[in-house]
Amino acid sequence: MKTLIKAAQLIDGTGAAPVQDPVLVVSGGKVEAVLSGPVPAELSGTETHDYPGATILPGLIDTHVHLNLPGDGTILEDAVRETEGVLVATSALATVKALKAGITTLRDLGAKGRTAIDVRRALQLGHGEGARVVACGQAITITGGHVWYLGGEADGVDGVRKKVREMIKLGADFIKVMASGGGTVGTQSWNPAFSQEELNAMVDEAHHFDRKATAHCLCARSIEMAIEAGFDQLEHAGFISDRTGRQVYEPAVAEKLAKSGIPVTGTLAVGGAVLRELRGRPSLTETEAAFLVRWEKSAAQNLYQFRQLREAGVSFVAGTDAGWRFTRFDDLPLEMELMQEGGMTAMETIVSATGYAAKVIDIETQTGSLTPGLAADVLVVGADPLSHLAALRDVRLVMQGGKVLTA
C-alpha cells in the first residue's frame, strides 16, 4: 500500500537544495520516490497527506541522550537509585516524548545494566511506539569514574578489553568510553581518566567487533589521547582546565582534532536548557541564582569554543545530552538553534540531525535521509525551518517506518 505526502518543500537530509512542490511516495515502510509537481495519474486515489505551506524532512536523530534520566533537574546520583524496572519505564517513556517531537531515532550514551538495550528490543518487537534506539549498554569508565554506578567500571588493558566484549555480548551497537571525568561526584573533568594504552585497547577491541567507539572528553588532554587512540567520535570536546571548571581553549588541540576528521557532538542544549529553566522561574534562591550565574558563564564559553572548533574545521553532529539536568527529550531544536548561533547555517544544522548524524552513528543504510530504499522516517513541520529553526517545533506529521504516528 502506498502513501503520499505533499507540502510546499522537501529537505532530504543530504544537504541538497530543497525540492519544491514535492510528493513523497512511501511504500512498504520505505521511501519509494521523491517527485515534484502534480501527483502522477497512476497515483491518483492513493492515500494522501497534504500540508500546504509546510516542509517535509527526514525524521530527526538525536545522537546523544541518556534514556534512564528524566531531564527534570534530578541529579544523576538520585536518578540511578531507582530500580531497574523504573529505569526501563523512564527510558520507554522518553522514546515516546522524542517521537512525538519528530525525533525518530535516539542514540543512548550510557544506561544502567541492560535497561536501554531492553527498551530497544521491546520497540523492535513492536510492543509499543517510540523513537528507534541505538544503544551502547553501559559507558565504560575507570573504577569510581564518571557514571560508575551504571555498571561499566573497568581498569587495565586486559580489563577494558573484557569490558568491551561484555558490552558486545550484551548487544551494544557501539562502545562509549569516559575518557575524562564528568558530572559524577568525585570525578575529575579536568583530567584524563584512562591511560593511553587502555584507550588504544578499547578502540582496537571495538573495531575488531565492527563497532564504532566514541569518547566523552571534557579536557584538552583527553581529546588528544582519544585522537591518538583512533576513536570514531567525540562527545562534548571540552577544555576544562582545573577543578573550578575554568575552560581554556587550546588552538593546537583543535587543529589536531580537525585534521583527524573525527566528528563531535557538542551538546550545547545542556546549558541552553539550564538557562531556560532558571530564567523561567518567578524567583530564585541564593543557591539557584549562583547556579544560574555559573551556567551563564559556562554556556557562553561552550558556544565560544563551538565557534572556534568550527572555524578550525571540526565537524559536528546534533546531540542534546537529553535526560541530563533540565535537557528534555524534545530539545533537539534547541540544540540546532544553538549550533546555528555558533556559526552553522540552518541547512547545516538540519543535515547534522539527519543524514550526517546517520552516517556518523553508522545507520545511514537504514535511515537519515529521504532516499529511495531507506526507512520512511518522516517529519512534516508547518513552516520553513531554513528561515526559522523554531518551525521544527510546529509538528504536523510524524511517520516512522511508513507508519503515521502523528497527523
Q: Is the pLDDT of residue 28 over 80?
A: yes
Instruction: Specify whether the CB–CB gap between 61 and 368 falls below 8 A.
Output: yes
Cell of 111: 544506561
Maximum CA pair distance of the chain? 67
pLDDT band at 403 (very low <50, low <70, confident <90, very high): very high
* C-alpha–C-alpha distance, residues 5 and 367, integer Å: 18
* C-alpha–C-alpha distance, residues 134 and 302, integer Å: 26
Instruction: Enter the pTM of the model.
Output: 0.98
* C-alpha–C-alpha distance, residues 57 and 7, integer Å: 10
Q: Which domains does the chain have, with CATH numbers?
A: 2-59+368-406 (2.30.40.10), 60-360 (3.20.20.140)
Give kind and range of the element (H or E) at residue 279. Answer: helix 269-279
Q: What is the pLDDT of residues 189-218, one digit of tens each?
A: 999 999 999 999 999 999 999 999 999 999
Residue 108 makes CB contacts below 8 A (sequence gap 6+) with 65, 66, 67, 91, 116, 133, 134, 135, 136
Work out the percent of the chain whose per-residue pLDDT is above 70. Answer: 100
Work out the percent of the chain whose per-residue pLDDT is above 90. Answer: 99
Instruction: Specify whether the CB–CB gap between 91 and 115 falls below 8 A.
Output: yes
* C-alpha–C-alpha distance, residues 200 and 90, integer Å: 34
Q: What is the pLDDT of residues 118-163, one digit of tens each?
A: 999 999 999 999 999 999 999 999 999 999 999 999 999 999 999 9
Tell me the average pLDDT across 373-400. Answer: 98
H helices within 261-365, ranges in order? 269-279, 286-312, 332-341, 346-352, 355-360
Mean residue pLDDT of the chain comes to 97
Q: Is the pLDDT of residue 226 over 90?
A: yes
Per-residue confidence (pLDDT) for residue 396, from 0 to 100: 98
Q: What is the pLDDT of residues 89-125, one digit of tens each?
A: 999 999 999 999 999 999 999 999 999 999 999 999 9
* C-alpha–C-alpha distance, residues 268 and 272, integer Å: 7
Per-residue confidence (pLDDT) for residue 407, from 0 to 100: 65
pLDDT band at 406 (very low <50, low <70, confident <90, very high): confident
